[in-house]
Amino acid sequence: MKLELGKIQIKDVQKASESKVENGTLYINEEEIKEIVLADDHIVKCEVEIAKPGESTRITPIKDVIEPRCKVEGDCEIFPGVISKVDRVGEGRTHALKGCAVATVGKIVGFQEGIVDMQGPGAELTPFSKLINICLVVEPAEGIKPHQYEQAVREAGFKVALYLGKLGKEVEPDEVVTYETKPLLDQIAEYPELPKVGYVYMLQTQGLLHDTYVYGTDAKHIVPSILYPTEVMDGAIVSGNCVSACDKNTTYHHLNNPVIEDLYARHGKDINFVGVIITNEAVYLNDKKRSSDWTAKLCRYLGLDGAIVTQEGFGNPDTDLIMNAKKIAGQGVKTVIVTDEYAGRDGASQSLADADPSADAVVTGGNANEVIVLPPMDRIIGTLDYVDTVAGGFDGSLRENGEIEVEIQAITGATNEMGFNKRTARGV
């Protein structure tokens, strides 16, 4: 598959009477956006707020972050099987509005949504502080079930991101980048002298509100499968989960997966990037065995010389991660895992819930238990009602002066296990 990704740089976002992209500015009609969101009767109120880098603004609790994109050619749309019909994506032309994002914000149903500060020490821990965030602050209807509310908010974010993405359909991009992965035999024949490298993409699928969707299908129901990397860039994988904010893969992370980007950057130079294997993170042991067996089998089937494995979440998924690493390495494939750590506030505890000597090449996104004090902000988008109860918070996290003391676990994207962050550790 060959995908042309047209990148349109958005330098400012302003509310206006007409939605359009003009000279690097995204103008948004607030009423049209509200109409899209409130079309679902599970949501009774929506406010549209804009948060810009460097402002004294705190957004919480954030559920998902989505980059506006649209397909330029053909009948298929972005986010297939979710808000668009089920069509294969990953080829043709796609336009993306870079530098901005849609963030869904609102009442939580569990405890695992996050905080994004647009300035200060917290801003240094999240990539979303560098974006202009178009925040959809929503309120659910009385009496609806938690999973109905979560679905409504998730789909509202996708619909608004597509609505905004289509504003760039006729805009000349600032940059066009072409990504191509050929059918396997052609791909191998093109660079026979280079090591064949694949990406094993673990998806969070551990129960209600811990979901990831592939072409609209809840990934807990899939067996490990092969995707073209370009399918991911067109929204074939989207977030639907409420795991800890620090290592949750938002939809923005999926659309801009840095492992895929980096492997493409090295493709044809020092590696041959042959494709992506997606696998789930199961709850029961037999399901973990099945998925890790299939993942290792596919690595061997593709004839990989090396594999990069990324995780989502922590604790129970650590078992899936180590089973994958052990079995893939057992096939003679050099394996690197990307994870984060829950090593206690002093960093002295065991970092992962599982381990194996074969998992000897590890990249870490940092220690999620590290504590930070976030200064007061002049503006709050959302509510501070849940600061003490989100994962990483505790009774007394929100101080009377407006400061928040939390583990960085509460900051969206702080220890992302795709490496989409600024923290790591190095053995000496």
User: Which residues participate in catalysis according to the annotation?
Assistant: 242
Tokens coding 393: 């918070």
288 in Cβ contact with 320 (< 8 Å): yes
Gyration radius (Cα) of the chain, Å: 21
User: Measuring CA to CA, how many Å separate 197 from each of 189, 190, 264, 271?
Assistant: 14, 14, 11, 7
294 Cβ contact list (under 8 Å, min separation 6): 223, 224, 279
300 Cβ contact list (under 8 Å, min separation 6): 331, 333
DSSP classification of residue 228: -
Closest-CA residue to 146 (of 104, 107, 106, 109): 109
Element containing residue 15 per DSSP (H, E) = strand 12-15
387 in Cβ contact with 115 (< 8 Å): yes
Closest-CA residue to 186 (of 5, 2, 376): 2
Spatial separation of the C-alpha atoms in residues 10 and 167, rounded to whole Å: 12
CA angle 62, 66, 69 (to 5 degrees): 165
